[in-house]
Structure 1
Amino acid sequence: MTPATAPYGTWTSPIDARLVAEHDGRPEYAGAVGQEVWWTEPRPAEGGRRALMRLRPYGAGPAEPALPGPWDVRSRVIEYGGRPWAGTARAGDGPLIVFVHHPDQRLYAFEPDAPGSRPRPLTPLSPVGGGLRWADPVLLPERGEVWCVLEEFTGARPTDVRRVLAAVPLDGSAAEDRARVRELTDGADRFVTGPRLSPDGRRAAWLAWNHPRMPWDGTDVRLADVTGDGALTGVRTAAGGDGESVAQAGWAADGSLLFTGDASGWWNLYRLDTDSGERTALCPRPEEFGGPLWKIGLQWFEPLDSGLVAVLHGAGSPRLGVLDPRTGELADTPGPWTEWAPTLASAGTRVIGVAAGPHRGHEVVELDTRTGHALVVGSRHTDPVDPAHYPEPEVRVFHGPGGREIHAQLYPPRNPAHRAPDGELPPYVVRAHGGPTGRAGLALDLEIAYFTSRGIGVVEVDYGGSTGYGRAYRERLREQWGVVDVEDCAAVARTLAAEGAADPARLAIRGGSAGGWTAAVSLTSPRTEGLYACAAISYPVLDLDDWAAGGTHDFESRYLVSLIGSPEEHPDRYRDRSPLRHAHRVTAPFLLLQGLDDPVCPPAQCDRFLAAVAGRGVPHAYLAFEGESHGFRRAETVVRAVEAELALYAQVFGFDRPDVPPLELTR
């Protein structure tokens, strides 16, 4: 078929917003229960709940939800959550599962194979602040307990909170009695991950850190002895510290302690002699074997019974390998997957993970370490349209001020049914990822394909501060948030225009959360004046003073100390960089999207920003969504947001899109 000639932005595409919504989200928290594989999976069409999925062994059938709606398996610990379930196999009785139900945040026990079984609560409710929350459980049926992280609010403010390791009885006696929850630690650490018990059950290890550190700044590996009655004694610091981020700690089958630390400048894997404190690098490389601990219980490595260790590693996108710690030999997993999520688990010689590639969404993958063969076992990707409509990513390195490298992924327009008129340059959208301590994954994203298949290019920028490229790259953003991220995105946009790859008059910037901040600052900064024709801004940070004064949740309440500097020592930075303080500089049209139940970036900041812009003649639209938090989960919200973004570009870039509702821009 001869492609039809049509201007960029007007191309017709089978990838509509409802298709984007149906494929929004990805499976998480894979685990093994005996020989079974379990994980959580998004359900955008069911109010955004997360289903707990079960795959029985030996070809017993496809995966199925273990719980019907409205059960929603998701934790709110540190607001971004953490591992919300654990399970154990039992001879003759089937699995025992414990999980966190999102609406009430209680911990429940469930025996899926018991006739007439329903989840029964293990923990009580609390009327104080955000209540009681639980994450990263470890089932210990021989003790009749589940050990996990307890987050307990002590007052009405989001920072009135304490976190401890706690033991919850499995008999349900604590369901109405908080006193029956046994605390294992004293609450001296502001943040903790769940305990990892040694193979003999006599020692426990976990991670801890305190304000103002974020976990990628520095964490401590805590080590304790487990007494016969289940107490933790002799708590000591075994590794880590102010200048070393440890992303994960766990035990090998031989009883040695493994951890990923970045003392070398890269998150590498180490074995620790817990008596002498001596560490041994198992595979020293300028690659990341860990990542940012945005959620409690992430797994970048998984020790196997054989003594081998499954690891995620790489510079940029992580891949799955199997490491022989004796020799340092590392064998990577074959297959089409370029992006592995930090959620490894194992069952004997099998490794279970979640992976994606440029032409396939995230799916649950199982690797047989004996044969090296990997196959998809759950959330299998199927192409909803001809994959010729997917973009072909180009991994690029651009250069910014001073010649510094900027990593990015370029997605040029692509549609087999269309070509642009000769001489026309495509519009481009610069996407700033969230975090800002994060990165853009090299995986199929139908939201990106929605735009590229319509003739709009997209470039995802791993600006300075992003993870995946070593600690030095990550720390470029220290006290430079609103400067380096903005400059790097601008440098990529200007380079694409200078190369003749993008229309310099039709550049946009968009982002959510910290990416929303970068987009908003880009509209108000003299460094980018006149560069972007418009911006799409989702659940952003807009007012640094408000954030520093308690306008966000506890986990990130001191994040700005590293991103901006101490507010007491550098109040000028807080004023000079906040978009709210410079709303008078906004001249480009923008779209602002916000969840009304967002505890991370509350909608009050959007209200103040819009009031500051009102009456200045700047075309803009504001869409607020009830029931949505930080990041959108409901299908109807995703549809409205994606279509509104396209409608913005259509108005500003000057092309017609009759397939989406018009966006009313006010001034």
Structure 2
Amino acid sequence: MQRSELVASQAGVFWLETDPDSGLNLIHTLAGSGEGSAPLLPDTLGVRSQVNGYGGGALCATSDRLFAIESSSQQIYVIFPETGRFSPVTDDASACYGGLVWDRHRERLLAVREDADGQQLVAIRQGKLETLHQGEDFYSAPAVSDSGRQLAWISWQLPDMPWVASVLWLAKVSDDGRLVDARPVMPFPSPTRACVQQPLFVGETLYVLSDHLGWWQPWQMDENGSWRCLDDTPEDQASAPWQLGESQHLPLPEGGWLRVRYRNGMAGLWWNSGRDASPQQLADSYIDFRCLTRQENRAYCIARSADRLDAVLSVATDTGQIHVLAGGETPFGEIALSSPEPFRLPDSEEQAVVVSGFYYPPVHSQPGQMDDAPLVMIAHGGPTAMISPVLNPQVQFLCHQGFAVAEVNYRGSSGFGRDFRLCLAGQWGVVDVQDIERAARHLVSEGKASGQAVFIQGRSSGGYTALMALVSSAYFTAGVSQFGVSDPERLRKMTHRFESGYLDWLLGSFEESPERWRERSPLRQAHRIQQPTAFFQGGQDAIVVPEQTQRMATAIRANGRESLVQVYPDEGHGFRKASNQADMLTRLAAFYRQFLQR
């Protein structure tokens, strides 16, 4: 069960859960006993923002109500938890909203509004819309000071992505709610462009995460504009901001704090009581933490682990005691799970950075007897994302079918510092492919799998990596693209504004080097693919349209190779319905298995 977007207030603790049948994100809250999950509303109100294509910040809580963005209309609804009543707040069919924040001083909602002309930072009060700031290409993370007299937010400009370069803004707020003296504030010293995210206030003091020294670290800005690093640990303390509304650092009373630190692809939750104590790691059986929030003397978050479903955790801010409020169940009863084993690739003179990942042995395999196991390499999506060894039903299914599985945080993944993240600039389809093949060869040499059957697969941008691996290498036995990018040039023309400059960053400027784009296009290079392939495609996918996939399959068949295409008419870019996901896994395993008998 996937849980996301947790909020807390005097009205209660609320979060989103994905319904496996409909694929909708439904609002859940604590059951009457105070433990476990209960739906807040009928299953007709799905909640999801489409701002930037990836959404986020679709849920916001006040002392007595919720605000949520309804999936289909993209309008903001107000919900009263005590009665279950809900009604629309906006009637703005030309726009979508995200990044909701409540301004209690003026009884108004702050949000990022996106329409065909761009984005604005807006306020909504009693159904009336007011533009607070515009002119920047993208906005996120509005934060109000305790007095209500200051407002901070983040912006960035095309062609940048928010993990390449972004700007922190600060403004005074007048009595009538207008912004006064809005200005960008830069960290110092700032020798290079930087990425900032997740601003928040404690009193009138502003805190932010910035990577201008190489890692996303917490900084405090005083009234004079001076910046002070609060934790110079050389580890990222945030993930790449694909979505609005992320929260991975949280000041606590008496100077304490909660923070998330990423190390080797896994996150730790660190707590300091603020009483001259050393930081302590909490909830160490979990390996990813999101949506940190606080209500009075308790903090809350969503936590993920390798062997349990997503959990809603409560943290006592004075003692650090952890309590599981909902979720955290063992998902498959007595069925055994494959446990992830971290690995690192050996250092090489050609590669200064360290590439790592997680290996999953086949279930029921014996130690030292895995050298005949077929191996499935999985390329994560993004590609500026990160793989963590959280519970993944697809991985577990393959391991139960007798496959070993490995996931790689190739160069360009987030969570390993700015330099590692920027390694992918101009190198997509090259360094990611090199790292995954190198990881596969390493695992085979270590006796973790058979070199006679090595497969590669990926979703979305991971599908692109899988296809480019088949284009450039004969090492892999077969490959699978799950709604993978096959025509970057077409995608560049039709993608949403958020990613409109991303492909030029990943592949280099199209205007300056169109030949490079042709060389890195799986569709244009399909004649070079000599391995069997399978494509799993949504019929409503507007990013990777079905026609592209059919053209890829036709070109591969012309090479005399097998190419399976399975289209799910009711899916878009990413499969949300459990029945379709189960069907895909069954077909995926059958596709791989036929090559073990040859």
Matched-pair contact (CA < 8 Å) for 1:356–1:362: yes
The one-letter amino acid of 1:408's match is G
Q: Which stretch shows the higher mean deviation, 614-623 or 553-562? A: 614-623
Matched-pair contact (CA < 8 Å) for 1:215–1:293: yes
Corresponding residue of 2:340 = 393
Corresponding residue of 1:532 = 476
Deviation per CA, 1:240-293, whole angstroms, max 9, x where unpaired? 6871011211112x32100111111111110012x4321101011111111200
Cα distance in 2 for partners of 1:345, 1:516 equals 35
1:513-524 aligned within 5 A: 513-524=460-471
1:240-389 aligned within 5 A: 243-252=193-202, 254-273=203-222, 275-315=223-263, 316-323=265-272, 329-340=278-289, 342-386=290-334, 389=336
Match of 1:488 among 429, 435, 442: 435
The one-letter amino acid of 2:511's match is E
Deviation per CA, 1:399-418, whole angstroms, max 9, x where unpaired? 47614421110111122xx6
The 3-state SS of whatever aligns with 1:631 is coil
1:147 partnered with 2:147: no
Question: Cα–Cα, structure 1 residues 230 and 349, in superposed 2: closer, same or farther, change >3 Å?
Answer: same
The 3-state SS of whatever aligns with 2:498 is coil
Corresponding residue of 1:407 = 356
Matched-pair contact (CA < 8 Å) for 2:171–2:179: yes
Normalised to the residue count of structure 1, the TM-score between the two structures is 0.85
The one-letter amino acid of 1:36's match is G
Matched-pair contact (CA < 8 Å) for 2:54–2:243: yes
1:53 partnered with 2:28: yes
Instruction: Report the Cα offset of residue 398 of structure 1.
Output: 0.8
1:150-189 aligned within 5 A: 150-153=113-116, 161-170=117-126, 174=127, 180-186=128-134, 188-189=135-136
Cα distance in 2 for partners of 1:536, 1:645 equals 8
Matched-pair contact (CA < 8 Å) for 1:283–1:328: no
1:547-566 aligned within 5 A: 547-548=491-492, 550-566=493-509
Matched-pair contact (CA < 8 Å) for 2:77–2:89: yes
The 3-state SS of whatever aligns with 2:159 is coil
Match of 1:88 among 62, 68, 74: 62
Deviation per CA, 1:414-447, whole angstroms, max 9, x where unpaired? 22xx669979610000011001111111222222
1:506-655 aligned within 5 A: 506-525=453-472, 528=473, 530-548=474-492, 550-654=493-597
Question: Cα–Cα, structure 1 residues 468 and 141, in superposed 2: closer, same or farther, change >3 Å?
Answer: closer
Cα distance in 1 for partners of 2:321, 2:565 equals 49
Corresponding residue of 2:17 = 41
1:460 partnered with 2:407: yes
Corresponding residue of 2:159 = 212
Corresponding residue of 1:124 = 91
Matched-pair contact (CA < 8 Å) for 2:253–2:274: no
Question: Cα–Cα, structure 1 residues 138 and 423, in superposed 2: closer, same or farther, change >3 Å?
Answer: closer
Normalised to the residue count of structure 2, the TM-score between the two structures is 0.94
Instruction: Report the Cα offset of residue 384 of structure 1.
Output: 2.0
Higher relative contact order (CA 8 A, sep 6+): 1
Deviation per CA, 1:448-498, whole angstroms, max 9, x where unpaired? 111112210000000000111111111111111110000000001111222
The one-letter amino acid of 1:27's match is R
Question: Cα–Cα, structure 1 residues 56 and 456, in superposed 2: closer, same or farther, change >3 Å?
Answer: closer
Instruction: Report the Cα offset of residue 610 of structure 1.
Output: 2.8
The 3-state SS of whatever aligns with 1:624 is strand
Matched-pair contact (CA < 8 Å) for 1:318–1:339: yes
Question: Cα–Cα, structure 1 residues 423 and 510, in superposed 2: closer, same or farther, change >3 Å?
Answer: closer
Question: Cα–Cα, structure 1 residues 55 and 421, in superposed 2: closer, same or farther, change >3 Å?
Answer: closer
1:77 partnered with 2:51: yes
Matched-pair contact (CA < 8 Å) for 1:512–1:538: yes
The one-letter amino acid of 1:78's match is N
1:438 partnered with 2:381: no
Instruction: Report the Cα offset of residue 326 of structure 1.
Output: 9.1
The one-letter amino acid of 1:233's match is V
The 3-state SS of whatever aligns with 1:195 is strand
Instruction: Report the Cα offset of residue 62 of structure 1.
Output: 3.6
Instruction: Report the Cα offset of residue 367 of structure 1.
Output: 1.1
The 3-state SS of whatever aligns with 2:158 is coil
Corresponding residue of 2:71 = 102
The 3-state SS of whatever aligns with 2:279 is strand
Match of 1:500 among 438, 447, 460: 447
Cα distance in 1 for partners of 2:371, 2:255 equals 58
The 3-state SS of whatever aligns with 2:345 is strand
Q: Which stretch shows the higher mean deviation, 225-234 or 610-619? A: 610-619
Cα distance in 1 for partners of 2:275, 2:132 equals 35
Question: Cα–Cα, structure 1 residues 88 and 353, in superposed 2: closer, same or farther, change >3 Å?
Answer: same
Question: Cα–Cα, structure 1 residues 606 and 425, in superposed 2: closer, same or farther, change >3 Å?
Answer: same
Corresponding residue of 1:664 = none
Cα distance in 1 for partners of 2:198, 2:60 equals 18
Matched-pair contact (CA < 8 Å) for 1:149–1:164: yes
Question: Cα–Cα, structure 1 residues 209 and 329, in superposed 2: closer, same or farther, change >3 Å?
Answer: farther
Cα distance in 2 for partners of 1:344, 1:420 equals 39
Deviation per CA, 1:514-544, whole angstroms, max 9, x where unpaired? 111100101111xx2x211111111111112
The 3-state SS of whatever aligns with 1:652 is coil
The one-letter amino acid of 1:149's match is V
Instruction: Report the Cα offset of residue 295 of structure 1.
Output: 0.3
Q: Which stretch shows the higher mean deviation, 193-202 or 357-366? A: 357-366
The one-letter amino acid of 2:297's match is T
The one-letter amino acid of 1:166's match is V
Instruction: Report the Cα offset of residue 505 of structure 1.
Output: 1.4
1:138 partnered with 2:101: yes
Instruction: Report the Cα offset of residue 329 of structure 1.
Output: 4.1
The one-letter amino acid of 1:320's match is L
Question: Cα–Cα, structure 1 residues 411 and 420, in superposed 2: closer, same or farther, change >3 Å?
Answer: closer
The one-letter amino acid of 2:526's match is A
Matched-pair contact (CA < 8 Å) for 1:368–1:374: yes
Deviation per CA, 1:143-187, whole angstroms, max 9, x where unpaired? 34211111112xxxxxxx4111111233xxx4xxxxx3111112x
| Percent identical residues | 29
The one-letter amino acid of 1:48's match is G
What is the count of residue pairs matched by the alignment?
A: 592
The one-letter amino acid of 1:246's match is V
The 3-state SS of whatever aligns with 1:579 is coil
1:66 partnered with 2:40: yes
Unpaired runs of 5+ residues, structure 2, are: none
Cα distance in 1 for partners of 2:498, 2:362 equals 39
Deviation per CA, 1:49-102, whole angstroms, max 9, x where unpaired? 111011268x4464311111121011111111111111112xxxxx21110110
Cα distance in 1 for partners of 2:369, 2:139 equals 58
The one-letter amino acid of 1:71's match is L
1:223-242 aligned within 5 A: 223-239=170-186
